[in-house]
Structure 1
Amino acid sequence: MKRLPKIRTLILACLSAALTLCAAARAESLELSEQELADVSGQGLTILSNSSYNGLDFSRITLNADLTLNVNFKNIVLGQYNYAPNNGLGADINMPALQFGRSDGTAAQRLVQISNPYLEFVYDNTAGAGNNKMLGLRVGFDGISGDIGMRLASLSGSMLVDGGAAGILDSNAGSGKRWDGSCPTGGSGCLAMSQLGGVTAGNAAGPSRDFWISMLSAPVQFQGAAGMAQPALAQSGAWMNFRDRLTAIVGALPPNLALGR
């Protein structure tokens, strides 16, 4: 069974941001008196948390930081090729382009704001102590705001985007697994995936709160983010969840030239 581990591209982006932040924050350590310690409060850069849900155990490593990104990715291909798709052909997720930020708007639109990126590992402990089975992992953000250029050829996941007059893109209306983004014959109010140039994440109510991509050997039900409903069941292979406060960028992929040009 052939697996395409290119989800590491996104993971490495998170880790690179974390390392950059750590390097920038490095300073010489100083000994503090008891009185000085009493006057200081702080919070760890990384947080490890453990939880259980529906019989599964979860270990999450969170980078406790707010980050800004301007970066372009190309040809992200995640998942397996050798089982029959329901709709789209090829990999679970085929994303020819993913861009954080755009260069044809305001200075603020050059950057995408991300809060608390995390890696979460999933374990099945139902076989008893000492027989833990790792089911996979997911990478995501507690919050994301800004313009994200995105081209999708096939999608396994749960995605909802409001295209206004152009219609709604809702992968839950398709097969969920390897959806090719087509609209039902004669359907109205549907935004096809081929019409999507990207999304604006977040609105006046706050950032989008439910972006994550998982790689799993079996279906997993994740908990909903704080104040949100339980997400759709994540299927085996690659799976993307992105439904909260998304507005479509309809048409062409926005340009995103390198900063400084």
Structure 2
Amino acid sequence: MNQKEYWNKKALDFPRYDKNKDGFQQKIIKLLKDENIINDKTSVLDIGCGTGVYTIPLAKECGNITALDISSKMLELLEEDSWNYNVNTKIQTRCSNWKEFKSTEKYDLVLATLSAAFSDEQDFEKILQYSKKHVCFIDFVDTKGSNFEELLYNTYGIEKAIFKDLENKKKWLEHKNIEFKTTPLTNTYSKLIEIDEAIYKIKEILKSSQENIILSEEEIRIVLNPLKIGNKINYVINMKLELLHWRTTS
């Protein structure tokens, strides 16, 4: 399965923007306003935008947004929701990975939120090509802790995955002698999901772990029993994040 197929499949159960549950997004928008990073004329390049969880609320505050993602399925959901929230005229979608992305434009803000688009120094260097004023990243600090991972740790000793993206960006900035600012953030996301989806998520965690543990679907169902509410499973992600920001000159 290539990256495009993987993210198209992930789109089926990926979170979508909900104006009734956008407290965390509004916190980000306030930070960006307080730092004079965005206003109603700001042009934004949103790298790895997914279904538009940040794109749509930003579109309400900014001039225009180019929403970039490798997944056509994610972008279809974003486009549908942009119509529902009346910001469709402000958002232009581009289906591409970051390495292949090309544009004649530069943007006031280049933004990436929990994006898997950056894999090497060339990907970071490319940011400077498209940023006129500001760059902002939101990344995990060390780990992303879901109650599924906690359950597997308590039951089988499976360690949580460690994320190095933020650390790598900071090292690159220090190497380039670019001053940056960080702001700590926390967010909790929860929803009730179907048992089949929960089983799939557990299998993905097992697959990505260093331990060689294979569980049958029946064994996974037993492991998930403590999280069962009615016919569904309570899925919770507790996220420790940082907003990393620096100013560029065109």
- State TM-score, norm by structure 2: 0.26
Higher-Rg structure is 1
Instruction: Identify, as 1 or 2, the structure richer in strand.
Output: 1
